């Protein structure tokens, strides 16, 4: 009688091993059980329950109206639909831009819903909160560069870190978050050269979205890369459905290209 290998979910230890081995990490946003199962079957390792669901699922103009209960609901659905992928949940607007203690209380229901890590937007100003959560057993993924929850302050969806001063600030933010105990860092809409510099300076993995091909891994909004969401897409979005015979084939192509380091090419970078 053959013994079936145990199916288990990716852990932080697994993530660290793959990063040390210079293996590219593959993440997609996900907010339902069906896409969770399909993405996992195609080889996606990390599923981000992102507040981008406000735009692509709820039809909102920004991510700001997304509530904590929304993210909890979708995190539970993604958890039920997947078996091996690591699940990361966004902390929506207003749930982390407060005291570390209140942020911890808001992170608890996300972990109870099935998240293994929470994602916080912001730079060095989030270091204290990151440290507070990490010391209490909640892994944290930071998010710097274009932070959609600060879109009004940033003056719209614009590439960040183009000036020398801004680039230095973003590098300082990344180092501060790592020192505070962040387990991973999303870099959004940065010049490719800056994405590479930050990645080389850190010990933790970086996940790029419009930050060049030299980050530790990549993430895209699944509705964007399947060309489902309407309207103009950011430059860093590639339509993987073009020429694909199925949704799963499109996602599998994304996985292969990220693993090979061929996505994003210069065409999809800044």
pLDDT per residue as tens digits for the range 54-63 = 999 999 988 9
Structure tokens at 9: 């979910």
Note whether residue 6 is domain-resident: no
- Active-site annotation holds for 188: yes
Give the pLDDT score at 156. 59
Note whether residue 48 is domain-resident: yes
Note whether residue 64 is domain-resident: yes
Q: What is the mean pLDDT of residues 65-84?
A: 98
pLDDT per residue as tens digits for the range 130-177 = 999 999 999 999 999 998 776 656 555 689 999 999 999 999 999 999
pTM, full prediction = 0.95
Q: What is the mean pLDDT of residues 47-51?
A: 97
Q: What is the mean pLDDT of residues 197-201?
A: 98
Number of domains present in the structure of the chain: 1
Residue 6, pLDDT > 90, answer: no
Contacts of 177 (CB under 8 A, 6+ apart): 123, 124, 126, 127, 130, 140, 142, 144, 185
Note whether residue 4 is domain-resident: no
Note whether residue 3 is domain-resident: no
Structure tokens at 52: 């981008």
Residue 3, pLDDT > 60, answer: no
Give the pLDDT score at 158. 83
Note whether residue 108 is domain-resident: yes
Note whether residue 2 is domain-resident: no
Q: What is the CATH number of the domain that holds 209?
A: 3.20.20.60
Note whether residue 7 is domain-resident: no
Measured CA to CA, the distance from residue 135 to residue 107 in angstroms comes to 13
pLDDT per residue as tens digits for the range 226-243 = 999 988 889 999 999 999
Q: One of 45, 121, 178, 188 is an active-site residue; which one? A: 188
Range of the domain at 54: 16-268
Residue 4, pLDDT > 80, answer: no
- The beta-strand segments (E) located in the chain are 25-29, 46-49, 86-90, 117-121, 140-145, 184-188, 206-209, 217-220
pLDDT per residue as tens digits for the range 11-42 = 999 999 999 999 999 999 999 999 999 999 99
């Amino acid at each position: 009688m053959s013994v079936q290998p145990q199916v288990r979910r990716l852990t932080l230890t697994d993530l660290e091993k793959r990063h040390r081995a210079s293996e590219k990490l593959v993440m997609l946003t996900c907010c339902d059980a069906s896409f969770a199962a399909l993405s996992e079957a195609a080889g996606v390792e990390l599923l981000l329950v992102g507040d981008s669901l406000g735009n692509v699922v709820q039809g909102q103009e920004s991510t700001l109206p997304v509530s904590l209960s929304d993210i909890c609901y979708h995190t539970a659905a993604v958890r039920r639909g997947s078996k091996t992928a690591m699940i990361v949940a966004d902390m929506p607007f207003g749930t982390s831009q407060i005291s570390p203690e209140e942020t911890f209380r808001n992170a608890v229901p996300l972990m109870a819903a099935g998240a293994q890590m929470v994602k916080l937007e912001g730079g060095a100003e989030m270091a204290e909160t990151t440290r507070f959560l990490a010391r209490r057993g909640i892994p944290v993924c930071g998010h710097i560069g274009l932070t959609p929850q600060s879109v009004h302050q940033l003056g719209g969806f614009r590439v960040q870190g183009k000036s020398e001063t801004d680039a230095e600030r973003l590098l300082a933010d990344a180092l501060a978050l790592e020192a505070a105990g962040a387990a991973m860092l999303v870099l959004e809409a940065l010049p490719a050269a800056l994405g590479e510099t930050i990645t080389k300076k850190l010990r933790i993995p970086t996940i790029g979205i419009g930050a060049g091909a030299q980050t530790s891994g990549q993430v895209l909004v699944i509705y964007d890369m399947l060309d489902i969401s309407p309207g103009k897409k950011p430059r860093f979005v590639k339509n993987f459905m073009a020429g694909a015979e199925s949704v799963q084939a499109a996602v599998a192509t994304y996985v292969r290209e990220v693993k090979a380091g061929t996505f994003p090419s210069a065409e999809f970078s800044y």
